[in-house]
Amino acid sequence: MQGLEPSGALRLAVRDLHKSYGALEVLRGISLEAHQGDVIALIGASGSGKSTFLRCINQLEDCSQGEIFVNGEHLDLVHRKGRRVARDPRQLRRIRSKLGFVFQSFNLWSHMTVLENLIEGPTQIHGMHRDEAVALAQSLLERVGMKGREGAYPAQLSGGQQQRIAIARALAMQPEVMLFDEPTSALDPELVAEVLAVIRDLATEGRTMLLVTHEMAFARDVASKVVFLHKGLVEESGPPAEIFGAPKSERLTQFLKHVR
Ligand code: ADP
Ligand code: MG
C-alpha cells in the first residue's frame, strides 16, 4: 500500500471506516480529513459511534474495513486470525505517537507524580534525555496553568486539574493531531471552563484537533468544522454557523433541540 501524495498540510485522513461488534455495525463507512490547524468537532447522540471512531483511529479498536493516514503515512493493516491489525508494530507505534489522545476519564498514572506522568512518554518512547523532558514538562505545565504542581499525585488534584495534566501529557509526546473524547463530561460543572480554556488555547495556536464534545456552544465557537454522526454514519457536516444555524437534516435538527 502506498502513502498519500505528500500534501504537507493533511494531518489525518480516514477513508470509509467500518467497525462491527459482532452483528452490530457501529461504524458504517466514515471518511474524514483534518488539515493542519483544523479543529473538527464530532457531535452526535450517545451510541452514534463517536468514541469508537476515535478509538479506531489510533487502533485501540481494530476496524473491519477502511484506511487511515496520519501525516500522509498510510497505516498498513492486515487480516490476521480474524482481526484487522497493523502489519508492523513499529509503524503502529510511530503513528500512535503522532496522535495525542485525551479521554473522558483522565487516565493519569496514579502511582506517579505529575512530573513523572509528563516525562514518562518522552523519555521511554522518544528516548529524550531526562533534563530535556523535564524542561518540556515545565513549559507544558505553565501552558495548562499547573506550574508548581510537579510533585503532586493525581489523587491530590481536582478533576479539572487532572484533565489539564492529561492534556499536557499528551502534548509532551509532540503529536501532530490531538484527539479528545468528551474531555469535560466527567467533570463537575464548575471545572469545565478551565479545561475548555486550555483546549481553546490549543485551537488558537493552530493545533490540529478532533474533538468529541457535548459542549455545543464551545464547538460553535472553536471548531472550524462540525461533523454530526448518526448511527455510525456522517449525517451532516459543515462550518459551525451552518450546522448550528441552518441544519439541513431533520435528525440534526432534532439532536440540536435536545442538547440545547
Ligand atoms: P458514542 O461515543 O457516540 O456514545 P460509542 O462509540 O461508544 O458511541 O458506541 C457506539 C455503539 O457501539 C453503541 O451501540 C455501543 O453500545 C456499541 N459498543 C461500544 N463499545 C462496544 C464494545 N466494546 N462491545 C460491544 N458494543 C460496543
Ligand atoms: Mg463516547
ipTM of the complex, rounded to two decimals: 0.98
Q: What is the mean pLDDT of residues 233-256?
A: 97
pLDDT of 235 reads: 98
Ligand 1 atom 21 nearest Cα:
21
pLDDT of 35 reads: 96
Q: How far, in Å, from the CA of 47 to the mean position of ligand 1?
A: 6
pLDDT band for position 260 (cuts 50, 70, 90): low
- Please choose from 26, 28, 53, 229 the residue to mutate so as to test ligand 1's pocket, defined by most ligand atoms within 8 A of CB: 26
Q: What is the mean pLDDT of residues 249-260?
A: 92
Q: Which residues line ligand 1 (CB under 6 A)?
A: 21, 26, 44, 46-52
Ligand 1 atom 14 nearest Cα:
47
Residue 77 pLDDT greater than 70, yes or no:
yes
User: What pLDDT, in 10s, does the model give residues 122-181?
Assistant: 999 899 999 999 999 999 999 999 999 999 999 999 999 999 999 999 999 999 999 999
Q: What is the mean pLDDT of residues 48-75?
A: 95
pLDDT of 8 reads: 46
Q: How far, in Å, from the CA of 50 to the mean position of ligand 2?
A: 5
Ligand 1 atom 23 nearest Cα:
21
pLDDT of 38 reads: 96
DSSP symbols for the chain: -PPPP--SSEEEEEEEEEEEETTEEEEEEEEEEEETT-EEEEE--TTSSHHHHHHHHTTSS--SEEEEEETTEEP-EEEETTEEEES-HHHHHHHHTTEEEE-SS----TTS-HHHHHHHHHHHTS---HHHHHHHHHHHHHHTT-TT-TT--GGGS-HHHHHHHHHHHHHHT--SEEEEESTTTTS-HHHHHHHHHHHHHHHHTT-EEEEE-S-HHHHHHH-SEEEEEETTEEEEEE-HHHHHHS--SHHHHHHHHHH-
Q: What is the pTM of this model?
A: 0.94
pLDDT of 1 reads: 40
Ligand 1 atom 12 nearest Cα:
26
Q: What nine digits make up the cell of 13?
A: 485522513
Least confident window among 13-17, 93-97, 239-243 = 93-97
Q: What's the whole-number average pLDDT of the chain?
A: 94
User: What pLDDT, in 10s, does the model give residues 95-131?
Assistant: 999 999 999 988 899 999 999 999 999 999 899 999 9
Q: What is the mean pLDDT of residues 20-40?
A: 96
Percent of the chain with pLDDT over 70: 97
Q: What is the mean pLDDT of residues 203-228?
A: 96
Q: How far, in Å, from the CA of 139 to the mean position of ligand 2?
A: 31
